[in-house]
Structure 1
Amino acid sequence: MQNLKNRVAVVTGGGSGVGLATAKRFLEEGAQVVIAGRDAAKLAKAVESLQGGAKLHSFAADVTDTKQAQALIAEATRKFGKVDILVNNAGLNIKQRAFRELTPESWNQLVRTNLDGAFYCMSAVLPQMLARKDGLIININSVSGKRGNPLGGAGYCAGKFGLDGLSSCLANEERENGLRVTSIFPGEIDTPILDERPNPVSAEHRAKILKPEDIANVVVFVALQPPHVHIPELIVKPNWQGYM
């Protein structure tokens, strides 16, 4: 394995949950990190908690807006000179997620956040990665991107299934140009997105599901692999949760 010193990582959805935990692990491994999210105040609290000093930078951006996604990559490149690793972690779900409850507006919200935002960031960072013939994109997907189910909801599943196809296609198109794309498919994670479940999640249930740090460790494991090693996808779930 290689180390992450002198590597630059951009983490979307970096203000909390998996994104925040991933930023922390990257910093511990010596990387320079840019965390992004829509809420500048939330990012400021994250920066304070991470205590990354000169190796940490935050940038408020809504990645569902292509211009803001481009601005994020441009700012990270301006700050640290390049972007070696992009972690597309920004995601969203809603309480009214059953098919019969979806509206054109909520459908667009789900697909734009869970699919379009990742595409915009990937599109923005791709030219510099191809120019260097080196780059790693890690997309935080979901088991809902492998198995359509009512728990995730139709719009969320559609966005995550689309992200899976997008990731696989890009990885195969550019594999000879030094680009690696990895999809991580977590089961249930104890993050703020659980607050948007139609039914409240009990403390007992939260205690037995994955923690943000579990996924952050997987992200760093992927990032530490040498350039000749490509991990297309990883499925990670709580031990008790079925996967068929």
Structure 2
Amino acid sequence: MGLDGKVAWITGGGTGIGAAGARALAEAGARVVVSGRRAEPLEELAREIGGEAIALDVADAGAVDRAVAQIGPVDILVASAGTNVPARSMAEVETEGWQRVVDVNLNGVFHAARAVMPGMRARGGGVLMLVSSWAGRHATRLTGAAYNASKHAVVALSESINTEEGANGIRSTAILPGEVATDILQTRPVPPSREQMDRMLQAEDLGATIRFVAEMPPRVCLNEILISPTWNRFYLGFEEL
């Protein structure tokens, strides 16, 4: 199913999974709006795909509401903004770090979803993709307490949306990727090597996943997608641990 005439909004759209999703949806014919905190990569991507860019912090509910008012009706939301902190174990995480991770990874997803759903209800449907993590299904030492908690909560939020909004034609997919070779990996206490990153999922793999979900017919709700590299270190073990 083509996406001509559809409006897609991608948070965390300047780099990584969000940027890959933007490219894939634009290629499928959607009008794509990307948002994130850094204007330069957003504007560069918008020029590349013929889309639009809005700089904002998803943790700011008012900024999110203003962005949706500027965009207009949204048919497809990809909530991919995410963050983590280097000091992430329960013994090390500080209150400020915990709050920032939860503000972006959970509250930011909620703000975006809440902002687009009234328009989706009015039009009889819409697609949300909430980017969680392998850590949203399996809490691990590597990802840390705040990240684990926030990503588990995103899965619950997605299920809550389907529970309440399926009758209104709104469908939400929680996407739970394992290791993806993106910039967020550099916030780990021990960042992975180039050789390790080459064996991980690549951003374009998630872009293809996002397009696949977006092109499903309205009768189909993909509730969750748990996706990992074949070389899955969550099974094989991490040398840094």
Mapped pair 1:199 → 2:190: yes
- Local SS of the residue matching 1:34: strand
- Local SS of the residue matching 1:174: helix
Which residue number corresponds to residue 148 of structure 1? 139
User: Aligned partners of 2:190 and 2:159: how far apart in 1?
Assistant: 33
CA displacement, residues 175-226 of structure 1 (integer Å, 9 cap, x when unaligned): 1111000011000000000110100211110110000000110010010000
Mapped pair 1:236 → 2:231: no
Please report how far the alpha carbon of residue 104 of structure 1 lies from its aligned counterpart in structure 2 after TM superposition. 1.3
CA RMSD of aligned residues (A): 1.1
Q: Percent identity?
A: 38
Which residue number corresponds to residue 26 of structure 1? 25
User: Aligned partners of 2:105 and 2:143: how far apart in 1?
Assistant: 12
Alignment match of 2:69 (pick from 43, 63, 74): 74
User: Aligned partners of 2:14 and 2:191: how far apart in 1?
Assistant: 23
Mapped pair 1:215 → 2:206: yes
CA displacement, residues 62-114 of structure 1 (integer Å, 9 cap, x when unaligned): 1100001111211111xxxx210000000001111111111111110010110
Superposition TM-score, scaled by structure 2 size: 0.95
Please report how far the alpha carbon of residue 140 of structure 1 lies from its aligned counterpart in structure 2 after TM superposition. 0.9
Which residues of structure 1 form unaligned runs of 5+?
A: none
User: Aligned partners of 1:163 and 1:75: how far apart in 2?
Assistant: 26
Contact kept in structure 1, 2:82 and 2:105, CA below 8 Å:
yes
Which residue number corresponds to residue 116 of structure 1? 107
Please report how far the alpha carbon of residue 243 of structure 1 lies from its aligned counterpart in structure 2 after TM superposition. 6.3
Figure out how many residues of one structure are paired with residues of the other and give that number: 235
Letter in 1 for 2:43: A
Which residue number corresponds to residue 83 of structure 2? 92
Mapped pair 1:61 → 2:84: no
User: Aligned partners of 1:148 and 1:234: how far apart in 2?
Assistant: 17
User: Aligned partners of 2:193 and 2:118: how far apart in 1?
Assistant: 45
Contact kept in structure 1, 2:3 and 2:29, CA below 8 Å:
yes
Which residues of structure 2 form unaligned runs of 5+?
A: 236-241
Please report how far the alpha carbon of residue 170 of structure 1 lies from its aligned counterpart in structure 2 after TM superposition. 1.2
CA displacement, residues 105-126 of structure 1 (integer Å, 9 cap, x when unaligned): 1110010110000000111111
Which residue number corresponds to residue 13 of structure 2? 14
